[in-house]
Chains A and B, each alone.
Chain A
């Protein structure tokens, strides 16, 4: 079965979006499971009922929403893209909007599931509105005027707790519970219907309006994500190469020092070979990987300018230098014959 899990995992990871959909589904299931595992405990006191129920109805969805955002690595990407200075690459607000919308949509699913399950179950609603039950319609309405309001409230507040309810002479508990649960379930289903309707409208109506712009935003948001990951990978590769060369040089230096130290001894060697020994072939490869950045200052400068001044989205041989500072571009870009060629790997 491990293979099965691995395959499912690979399938979900193949595409960033389907991975996020998978996380989304897992969180929705977790939300439903959390609700069923949670032990609802209505206080059955006049002032506290409403506060407790509203808390249970609203606080966990907020937590789930934030959790959904946190688990999405695109959040930091969005923040980074928003705050970076334009540099050579203009910022596109449409891309930012797209990224935010797609994250928010996915993060909203778990809270919606929580609210729907809470309403459909009915305990929360019962706890919150038990003091608002229409006693005249459901129970012995004739007895109501004789009761002071606070006494009535105290009696009704105990409806959710069967073991301490003492108002059967006024209002049968089952009747009131059924009534409130029925309303709660009706609200729950209406909420579910409303959210699915909204989602359906958004999804179906969007292609009618902004399809071309949508394709662009989708492409560039994927691009930003991939570019960031590739940059991190390249930096890691660089760091590894840096470390290897650094250590090699250190050992060589130690070796040289030792040889110098033993200049009088048996290990004295001819001056010609005192020159730095040729690094083995692996060392040459490592130096290549360094791509010319070989000291801390240079690396820091590279990382700073990656943030402050991202390169423009334009690849090509006749490119002027990508860094500014007086190396303003050469002549005008030669007009390329713009032929969009279609490649498909069918």
Chain B
């Protein structure tokens, strides 16, 4: 149980791990989808290629879009791209980093599908059976070209009467499957080598810039999440006070109308708003609401958050809009300032 909780917390800790988790989930869904899909080659001259290639390429495209959809960071990236600069400069390097990390993760599921399809071979056999060169196989020597074409079109369908139990069909089918698997394994090998090289060679290029970009892109994501949470808490406190004010004002109105006597016999006070109960003003209740307690103020806060995000400088005093994102390497000073304010 603890292990489960730890795993959960680990996944939630950084946005990168969440994205990795989603990526793996989508890859697993792809495998399940492929294995449960019922492949059905039409075995007709022109339709074969369309069907085979369509099945090889359309689901990966849909899965790619799903991968982009499921990834929260793609929305964060577009928001960061389109926001007005305000007090915080925009850094195109961070946007590029986020874009590349989103794309890499979204590409995982489509690649899984394509590799599965190639290694399985059915798609390839269906798509390219009509384009096989009949010269390679002796069985076709005594058939007219149109007969050969018809035969080849039916190769993917084992049960069709024309090609059932035909050694020629098996030969063509085996040839194509072998080709398909060779291509599949080559692509796999290539991808792994590319990934390996990219990972190993990255430290040779711009390591410091890379570290900065990774930090700030993680930061942007976390900041958005925290803002949403803070807004939710604020809304809760706002609502709480609003409801209690409402009850209190009702009581006041009743007093004013003389419909009831106050139990302690105090004379009604027509114009005073009764004090909200003490518990409202206790610590956390007030802390969240302090200056933001009307619709206009909330709207203004949200507009300002969008149009003019605060500068990334916690040491600047409140209300002072300092410089924007700076490209200084994360110095020790910044680190110590941060540690005063964070309470992880």
Contact of B249 among A7, A172, A323, A346 (CB under 8 A): A323
**What is the interface residue range for chain B against chain A?**
35 or more
Enumerate chain B residues within 8 angstroms of A200, measured Cβ to Cβ. 65, 68-69
A172 / chain B contacts, CB cutoff of 8 Å: 161
Selected from A197, A298, A316, the residue in CB contact (under 8 A) with B250 is A298
Q: Is A121 a contact of B38 with CB atoms below 8 Å?
A: yes
206-220 of chain A: CB within 8 A of chain B:
207-208, 211-212, 215-216, 219-220
Known: A7-B4, A222-B231, A311-B246. A204 touches B74 (CB 8 A): yes
Could you tell me if A230 and B243 are in contact, using CB atoms closer than 8 angstroms? yes
Chain A contacts for B240, CB-based, 8 A: 230
Which of B161, B247, B294, B343 is A291 in contact with, Cβ under 8 Å? B247
Question: Is B174 engaged at the interface, CB distance under 8 Å to the other chain?
Answer: no
Of chain B, the residue at the smallest CB distance from A315 is B293
Interface residue? A250 (CB, 8 A) = no
| Interface 1/0 per residue, B143-160 and A, CB below 8 Å | 000000000000001011
Q: Give, as a whole number of angstroms, the nearest-CB distance from A236 to chain B.
A: 12
Given known A189-B55, A204-B74, A216-B303, contact A178–B40 (CB-CB < 8 A): yes
Contact yes or no, B295 A314, CB < 8 A: yes
A222's partner among B235, B251, B271, B293 (CB-CB below 8 A) is B235
Interface-side segment among A37-45, A157-165, A252-260, A335-343 = A335-343
The interface residues of chain A lying within 8 Å CB-to-CB of B226 are 344-346
Can you sample 6 A-B contacts with CB below 8 Å?
A189-B59, A196-B65, A212-B307, A291-B250, A293-B247, A321-B252
Sample of 12 more A-B contacts, CB < 8 Å, known A207-B79, A215-B303, A291-B247:
A178-B157, A182-B47, A185-B51, A196-B66, A203-B75, A211-B83, A215-B306, A223-B235, A292-B262, A315-B289, A319-B245, A338-B297
B residues bordering A, Cβ < 8 Å? 1, 4-5, 8, 37-38, 40-44, 47, 50-51, 54-55, 58-59, 61-62, 65-66, 68-69, 74-75, 78-79, 82-83, 157, 159-161, 226, 229-232, 235-236, 238-256, 259-260, 262-263, 271, 273, 277, 287-295, 297-307, 310, 318-319, 341-344
A interface list, Cβ under 8 A from B: 3-4, 7, 11, 15, 120-122, 138, 172, 174-175, 178-179, 181-182, 185-186, 189-190, 192-193, 196-197, 199-200, 203-204, 207-208, 211-212, 215-216, 219-220, 222-223, 226-227, 230-231, 234, 238, 287-288, 291-295, 298, 301-302, 305-306, 311-317, 319-323, 325, 327, 330, 336, 338-346
